[in-house]
Amino acid sequence: MAFFLPVTAFGADILTADFATLTDTVLPAGWSSSKSSDLDYTSEPYAGTAPPAFKFSATGNTLTSPAFATGAANLQFWAYGNAGSGSTLAVEGLVGAVWTLMDTVSIAQNDGTYNVALPSSTTQLRFIFTKVVNCAFDDVVVQGAGEDPNLSVPSTLAFGTIAPGAAAAQTLGLVNSGASNTLHLTSLSPASGDTAKFSVGSIPASIAPGISTNIRVVYSPGAVSGVSHSAIFNLITDDPTTPTSPITFSGSTVGASLTVSNIQYSVAGPSPQVGNRVTVSGIATYADPSGYAISDAAGGSWSGIYVTDLNHRPDPGDQIRLNALVQESGAMTVLTAVSNYVVLATNQAVPMTAIRGNQLATEAYEGVLVRITNTVVQNTNYTNGRTYWQVGDGSASFLVGTRAPYRYIWTNNARLTAIQGLAFTNFISPRFDADFVGRPVFEYALRGLVMTPDGPRTNWTVHVRDDVIVALTNVAIAGITNVATGGIIYPGLMDVHNHPAYNSFPTLMFNNFPYGHRDEWGEFDTEYDAWKTVRTSLRSASGDSTNDGITKYGEILELIAGCIAIQGQSNSDTEHTHPDVILYNVEQFPARTWNDIFPWTSTASERTNLLAKIEGGAVNASIIHLCEGTDTVARAQFATWRDWGMLDQTTAIIHGAALQPADFAQMATAGAKLIWSPMSNMKLYAGTANIKSAKSAGVTVAISPDWTPSGCYNILEELGYAWQLNTTIFSNAYTAREMCDMVTINGAKCAGLDGHYGKIAVGYNAGIAVIEGDAADPYMALIRARPPQVLLTIVDGTPRYGEPSLMSALGIAGESVTVRGRAKKLNIAVVHPFLEYSQHTFATIRANLVAAHSTLAPTGELDRDELQFLDLALLQSNHVDDIAPFRADSPLSSAPSTTVTNEVGGNLSLAFRYQDFWDNDTFLTNLTHTISIAPARYSNLIVQTIATNRPNTIANQTVPFTVGFQDMHTNYVFVFETRDAQGNVRTTVSTNAFKVKPYAGGDTDRDGLPNEWEIAYFGNFSNAVAFANGDTDWMNNLEEYIADTVPTNAGSFLSEGIDVVVAASNGVLEIQSPVPTSAGRVYDVWRTTNLLGNIVWTQMNLNVRGSAAGTAVVLRVTNTLPFATYRTGVKLQP
């Protein structure tokens, strides 16, 4: 369909400016600005036709054009809102000597061209900026007035290729782009060519200025195949300069299909069809990242051909027909420039041809799916190029390629029953592991509570052979290893949103939290900029650019959480993308995903290519970051994607935090899905996607953790956190089973892998997670599970992590590792001929990263807790969070003066930054602080508590207090005990010291022993232990202090008290005190009348002061009781 939108025709350009000579400080000749620097954007997408572009960066910025001649009619310019919309440009024109407002243009978030009508007397322009976001400005054109009326019409209308006997209709768009005069139309009539094949509808008599109309044209080629038609029709109007407009209509029919052998067969030299477009049909036999192969149904020589085509991906056994150009590429005949691709049938037999190795390089077998038997590996890394390996079958040596990835690891002299694959003249390219016939494979059976799509099955068995589940049954499988797991057998978990190349870092807590949308931290936050610089240093220190250790560690964090597949790899380096390395990467072939972190900046060309791949089956999952944030800028991204016509059943929106119920309804209608990362949303934006609305609309939701700097540290922690939100702010919108689906089958759906992953079912991938937990509530068992509770993680049939006993039962020696106190085995190190670092063990990867992180030093707003290595000790050990909160190095924003000495009763205050405390599970405003004061040198000895359980909120950041203690010290610090929702405590001692007037007699360590006494006898006020007895006499230190004896002298102790029994009453009793006495102590008598059972001693309160000479004093009791017992002792003076 060809059409035009209503526009106005203009004459010659009066002024043009593409800012080609613009620099950071210099404008093009004749232009002026209120800015003197930071004038330019120098890269896409911040430029129009080509960089640079002018940069508007602050409200009030002006840009003034050179003067130009009168006669202007229209201003056209390009502009781009940098990650947001709403900024405006006031366009003023100099008319006469007066600046006059012509229009105020609102700049959209995406690039666009804007038009402003100008009076013909305008001679200069001025642009005045009002900022919401920065804007790029480029490609200015001042257009002169054009003819009126003016016809705009395409010169060609192409119908493409259609089936013989069919008809096709299109519309021809006509526009009168004149400013004021009506365009009159006389006729649209045949002039030459195959005019009988095209018919046109009626035309209007006239078109008003600025109005468009459409004329229907029908192409009817007839029943003949392989023909082309072309005809010229003349459109007659009263356009002043072009009264006759010739228009060429063209079309063709699909030719008769050739067989592949028709194209391939030649006695000598290239295909006889080279340079021709042909229509061919065949059975799909092979696919790799660059294309696929088709074959004649019978197979044999000359029967196959490779098709270079990124837009289509047939399944093996699809019968397809296509039109393509025949070309020779590297001595191999291939098809390119595919069109008219049609799947005629599915599940057809895939032809395979048996050959000998010496036939592989012959012309007859190029592009043919072949089978070569009785092979022996001769060279594991041919020419050390890490691309080919060499085998022989007795007839010849030949190469094996790696165009399509596989897990099989070959070794010298290994024998295979057969190798199958596509013949590429000089090598054979296997399709998948099954093409290595006779290779060793895992085969075993796991017994436990099996979580099938139909629900739990108690004491069932999952039979695994290679990477496929081949049976589910309630009996043991004979002839193979049967392992009783004692656990709950789940499909392996699917992480469909992560960035593992960053995941050796724990949480990065931004000081400017919370943000409205992603670019506020990702593009404009200095703390994040500094963190990226530090990460670059880390990568350098760890050698990450070659060994991919950070990405591998990120995959390990997910592996030990039962995860088998991960999305978000930052590059295609085989050191982490290879299928033998830890997890399956869902971006890698044979997956059909398309991924974009910034889809709202995509170009029209990129989107056109994506739509072509979706239509052709090469893409079945468009995984895009969209609406990350909670503000209108974030939400506008959804409308942009939708209005581009890109919202469809392949769309999986990561984040979607700004989406509203109406948006979810549109997603459900289109079949789009949501990938929910709640922890990251809450830590960055203090809000997350409304999954309750998503469920109400019928949107499929998956859960994934994003990355460790803002998300949970693994998918099980993320699932647990999502459950918390579900049961609180989302009012139990989802059942436990539905939440478990979010990390299994729903994740597979988002990645377009639900035909092979996400279920325990026959024919599905043997990616399995076995967990321990309550079999009576298996869905909550998964929600509560953490890495220590994962009994097995099996990736593509290979046990990669688990309990030592289970791993051993499956034949895995593995590497011992302790995960939060639980012994486990890892099986991640492999020796592969093409991978340099695949043999690295967990211990090697960890030690390398620990050393690299130790080189990082706090800088600016980055603190030690943010730069530390994310070791396994920081992972939750069970569903109840047991990790203490994190905090900044210096969380106080203000504190009492360090130079002023304060008195008891002085009114002071401190202030802390609430964002300087955070947690891996509890939202930061739900943290609480108990804040105390302690001596600077003895921060464990609290002298006053000034706040208890104070919420960590903005409103509570300032803490007023009154000095309420007397102690011997001068300098004091604040001690924060920060608690999360589970009661985990992190103690923070401030570096801000303040002064209080010292007083004697204090007991700083609160052990009942005065500071001065402890210092006198033990050298420090906290060195003595009250109930210790270092001098081994009968008195402990507290008793020696009370008696005023010497605690370090075994000969200095109080004589034991005297018990006196009085049998008569009404008498006076005089008893001598114990010795030595002290003038600083008082002595007393205690009395009881019952020495049986619970004895109660009553003080007589005589309080007789001791003797300075240490001699005994007399204790006189004047109110004795009959049959009472009396005891003497010493006390501190009242």
Could you read off the pLDDT of 611-669 as tens digits, one per residue? 999 999 999 999 999 999 999 999 999 999 999 999 999 999 999 999 999 999 999 99
Mean pLDDT of 1103-1122: 91
- Locus of tokens 């592009």: 367
- Per-residue pLDDT band for 1066 (boundaries 50, 70, 90) equals low
Q: Is 687 exposed, middle or buried (0-12, 13-18, 19+ CB in 10 A)?
A: middle
What does the longest C-alpha to C-alpha distance in the chain come to?
A: 148
**Nearest-CA neighbor of 1130 among 1046, 1008, 1043, 1002?**
1043
The pLDDT of residue 1102 is 93
Share of the chain above pLDDT 70, in %: 98
Give residue 1065's pLDDT: 55
1057 pLDDT more than 80: no
Q: 579 near 405, Cβ under 8 Å?
A: yes
CA dihedral 301, 302, 303, 308 (to 10 degrees): 130
Counting Cβ atoms within 10 Å, is residue 136 exposed (0-12), middle (13-18) or buried (19+)? buried
Q: Could you tell me which residue, 786 or 1009, shows the higher pLDDT? A: 786
Residue 2 has pLDDT above 50, yes or no: no
Residue of 897, 993, 885, 865 whose CA lies nearest to 930: 885
Give the tens place of pLDDT for each residue, 276-333: 999 999 999 999 999 999 999 999 999 999 999 999 999 999 999 999 999 998 889 9
Q: What is the CA radius of gyration of the chain?
A: 41
Whole-angstrom Cα distance, residue 367 to residue 977? 70
Residues whose CB falls within 8 Å of the CB of residue 911, separated by 6 or more in sequence, listed in order:
892, 893, 894, 895, 957, 958, 959
Q: What is the DSSP string of 60-95?
A: T-EEEPPP--S-EEEEEEEEEETT----EEEEEEEE
CA 590/CA 1019 separation, integer angstroms: 74
Cα–Cα distance measured from residue 350 to residue 194, given in angstroms and rounded to the nearest whole number: 43
- Using CB atoms within 10 A of its CB, is residue 220 exposed (0-12), middle (13-18) or buried (19+)? middle
Query: What value, to the nearest 5°, has the Cα angle with vertex 327 and ends 326 and 333?
Result: 90
Tell me what pLDDT residue 1001 has: 76
Distances 658 to 333, 373, 654 between C-alpha atoms, Å:
51, 58, 11
Cβ neighbours, 10 Å, residue 391: 22
Average pLDDT of the residues in 162-175: 87
Say if strands 994-996 and 901-902 run parallel, antiparallel, or are unpaired: parallel
Q: Which amino acid is at 19?
A: F
- Which of the pair, 86 or 199, is modelled with greater confidence? 199
CA distance 367 to 260: 10
Instruction: For 880-901, give one letter per residue: b (16+ CB within 10 A) or e.
Output: ebbbbbbbbeebbeebbeeeee
Label residue 1092 by pLDDT band (50, 70, 90): confident
- Tell me: cis bond preceding 204? Omega within 30 of 0 counts: no
- Tokens linked to 301: 């020589």
pLDDT-derived band at 3, boundaries 50, 70, 90: very low
User: What token pair was written down for 313?
Assistant: 């991906």
Tell me phi and psi for residue 552, to 5 degrees.
-65, -40
Report d(CA 690, CA 704) in Å as an integer: 15
CA 880 from centre of chain: 24
Give me the pLDDT at residue 193, please: 95
Rounded Cα distance, 283 and 279, in Å: 14
Question: In this predicted structure, what is the pLDDT of residue 9?
Answer: 54
| Residue 6 confidence (pLDDT) | 34
Q: Can you give the pLDDT at residue 1061?
A: 66
Token duo for residue 293: 């192969």
Cβ proximity of 187 and 236 under 8 Å: yes
Strands 304-308 and 332-345: parallel
* pLDDT score recorded for residue 904: 93
Question: DSSP 3-state assignment of 809?
Answer: helix
Residue type, 384: N
What tens digit of pLDDT does each residue of 571-615 get? Answer: 778 888 999 999 999 999 999 999 999 999 999 899 999 999 999
Backbone torsions φ then ψ of 846, nearest 5 degrees? -65, -50
Which has the closest alpha carbon to 743: 717, 762, 725, 763?
Answer: 717
pLDDT attached to residue 7: 38
Residue 11 has pLDDT above 80, yes or no: no
Nearest to 221 by CA among 188, 198, 203, 191: 198
Give dist(CA 51, CA 36) in Å, integer.
19
pLDDT surpasses 80 at 1118: yes
Q: Which residue has the tokens 């953490």?
A: 786
Q: Cβ neighbours of residue 519 under 8 Å, at least 6 residues apart? A: 82, 83, 84, 633
Say which residue the tokens 């949501």 belong to: 674
- CB under 8 Å to 457, separation ≥6 — which residues? 449, 450, 451, 472, 474
Rounded distance between C-alpha atoms, residue 971 and residue 902, angstroms:
10
Lowest mean pLDDT segment, chosen from 68-77, 401-410, 767-776, 952-961: 68-77
Nearest to 258 by CA among 315, 305, 222: 305
> Over 90: is that where the pLDDT of 383 sits?
yes
Paired sense of beta strands 701-703 and 673-676, if any: parallel
The enclosing H or E element of 641 equals: helix 632-643
Amino acid at 892: L
Nearest-10 crossing angle of helices 549-559, 842-853: 120
Cβ burial of 426 (10 Å; 0-12, 13-18, 19+) is: middle
Rounded Cα gap, residues 144 and 401, in angstroms:
62
Residues in the chain, overall count:
1134
At 1036 the three-state DSSP class reads coil
- Is the per-residue pLDDT at 174 higher than 80? yes
Tokens found for residue 205: 């008599």
Q: What is the mean pLDDT of residues 465-479?
A: 97
CA-based nearest residue to 77, from 32, 4, 11, 15: 15
User: Can you tell me the mean pLDDT for 738-761?
Assistant: 98
Q: Output the CA torsion 455→456→462→467 (10° steps).
A: 50
Lowest-confidence region among 87-91, 440-444, 1062-1066: 1062-1066
Contact 520, 770 (CB under 8 A): no
Question: pLDDT band at 729, cuts 50/70/90?
Answer: very high
Quote the CA–CA distance of 883 and 867 in Å, as a whole number: 17
Task: Report which of 1037, 1047, 1053, 1048 is spatially closest to residue 1003, judged by C-alpha positions.
Answer: 1037
Please state, rounded to an integer, the average pLDDT across all residues of the chain: 93
**Contact at 8 Å (CB) between 756 and 716?**
no
Position 937 scores a pLDDT of: 85
Q: Is the peptide bond before 661 cis (omega within 30 degrees of 0)?
A: no
Q: What pLDDT sits at residue 1063?
A: 54
Cis geometry, peptide bond prior to residue 590 (ω within 30 degrees of 0):
yes
Residue 229, SS3 per DSSP: strand
CA 98 to chain centre: 54
Residue 4 has pLDDT above 60, yes or no: no
Give the start-end residues of each E strand in 468-553: 468-473, 481-491, 493-495
Q: pLDDT at position 938, please?
A: 86
The percent of the chain in helix, strand and coil, each rounded to the nearest 5, is 20, 35, 45
Residue 1062 has pLDDT above 90, yes or no: no
Q: How far apart are CA 32 and CA 61, in angstroms?
A: 11
DSSP label of 272: T
499-541 tens-digit pLDDT: 999 999 999 999 999 999 999 999 889 999 999 999 999 999 9
pLDDT digits (tens, 9 = 90+) for 116-160: 999 989 999 999 999 999 999 999 999 887 777 888 899 999 998
**What secondary structure does DSSP assign to 428-479, as a single string?**
EE--SGGGEET----EEEEEEEEEETTEEEEEEEEEEETTEEEEEESSPPTT
